[in-house]
Amino acid sequence: MIQPQVAPAAVVALAWAGAAGFEFAQGAAFKDERCSADARAFFDLASVTKSFLAVTVARLVQRGRLSFDTPLQDLLPEARGSLTGSASVLLLLSHRAGLVAHRDLFAPLLAGAPFEQAAAIRAAVHGRRPECHGPAPASGYPPLYSDLGFALLGLAIERLEQLPLDQVVDREVCAPLELELEVGSARMLRARGTGFAARCMPTETVPSRGGEVRGLVHDENAWALSGHGLSGHAGLFGTALGLARFGAALLEAEAQAAQRRPSAWLDSSILAPLLEERPGGTLRAGFDGKSADQSSAGTLAGRRSFGHLGFTGTSFWCDPDGARVLVLLTNRVCPTRNNPRIRAARPAVNDALYVYYP
């Protein structure tokens, strides 16, 4: 399914709600035939991390630790008195808090200067779009996909729980779903004896970071903010099977509303705000929806499908109508991010999964 020029390594998994269906692998990792990718390979999940953060927040809401309406400034002191600080958790999750898409928070490292987290937080808090100059309306500003809101929210969750973010995500999502050996930060996967270093696929060759990036988060802001740990917008690594099981759990939770049965892990009424369709685009809260045209989910996925993409070449889609999860993990940024071929590959692979496994 994946041509070598798309990515040097690729793994596909298909799961049905409640159980993994099958998985297979194709490709070799970065010109090293000894490191062929298989279903046990770890990939840098990149922005797929955002979905895990959103579900972690939902779990904390379910346990009464905060609400979706909680302003950021109530959780992150550095945001107090700012327009961003007045934005709610849900507006941050749905990319409607008025923040710009990105800022190079890691820039001091490139200049050989020390990285100061406090300065980076200030830069993120004040990274606002010029047209978003007042307090956000109840429904938020028009959406603009932004890493900054998720980075700030990840830091806020750390302050709330007094734990590193990777431990909170593990406690709320990975451990309940028995994914501790399948999904986690580089730090946690190394500590758990998963053979992470050998099983992790490389990403980009970056001279300023010493060459090939392997077993380290690819996202520069996440690396600057959290190192081997986890940021709210990036930092998780995972296997295709682990991500498929996460998606299957989401489908199972989403189906509770129709089945009128509760869940000990995540109630459908708590998940619903994350999956709610919103005007102005396909962005939901921690997830994306299927666009009408040229969706990376393909042409055969149901209209209600939701999921997320990762810059490194990762994606997962949950189709409630088809009761299936489609996972594609690649390292398309290896050896360079200047490789857009994944855009055509994603929908083609997802459509093929529907055709060959109806």
DSSP string, 293-352: SS-TT-SSS-TT-EEEEETTTEEEEEETTTTEEEEEEE-TTSS-S--TTHHHHHHHHHHH
E strand or H helix at 236, and its extent?
Answer: strand 236-238
User: Within 10 A of 341 (CB to CB), how many other CB atoms are there?
Assistant: 15
* pLDDT of 35 higher than 80: no
DSSP secondary structure letters along 111-145:
TTPPP-HHHHHHHHHT-B-TT--SPPPTT-SSP--
| Angle of the 49-62 helix axis to the 147-161 helix axis, nearest 10 | 40
**pLDDT number for residue 291:** 94
65-164: in CATH 1.20.58:
yes
Percent of the chain scored above 70 by pLDDT? 92
Start-end ranges of CATH 3.40.710.10 in the chain? 9-53+167-356
In the predicted model, is pLDDT for residue 22 greater than 80? Answer: no
| pLDDT at residue 261, as a whole number | 63
φ and ψ at 4, to 5 degrees? -55, -30
pLDDT in tens, 49-101: 999 999 999 999 999 999 999 999 999 999 999 999 999 999 999 999 999 99
Question: What is the per-residue pLDDT for 304?
Answer: 96
The model's pLDDT over 168-190, given as tens digits with 9 standing for 90+, comes to: 999 999 999 999 999 999 999 99
Q: Is it the case that residue 41 has pLDDT exceeding 60?
A: yes
Is pLDDT of 215 > 70? yes
Half-sphere exposure of 222 (CA within 13 A, CB side): 29
- Cα–Cα distance between 126 and 122 in angstroms, integer? 6
Give me the chain's average pLDDT, please: 92
Q: Find all residues with CB under 8 Å of 150, minimum gap 6, and list them.
A: 49, 50, 53, 92, 93, 231, 232, 233
Residue 32 has pLDDT above 60, yes or no: no
Cα→Cα distances 174→72, 96, 111, 312, Å: 25, 27, 37, 21
**pLDDT tens, 151-166?**
999 999 999 999 999 9
| pLDDT band at residue 36 under the 50/70/90 scheme | low
CA distance 108 to 276: 38
Confidence class for position 38, pLDDT limits 50, 70, 90:
confident
Which tens digit of pLDDT belongs to each residue from 270-316? 999 999 999 999 999 999 999 989 999 999 999 999 999 999 999 99
CATH 3.40.710.10 fits 9-53+167-356, yes or no: yes
- As a whole-number percent, the residues of the chain with pLDDT over 90 amount to 82
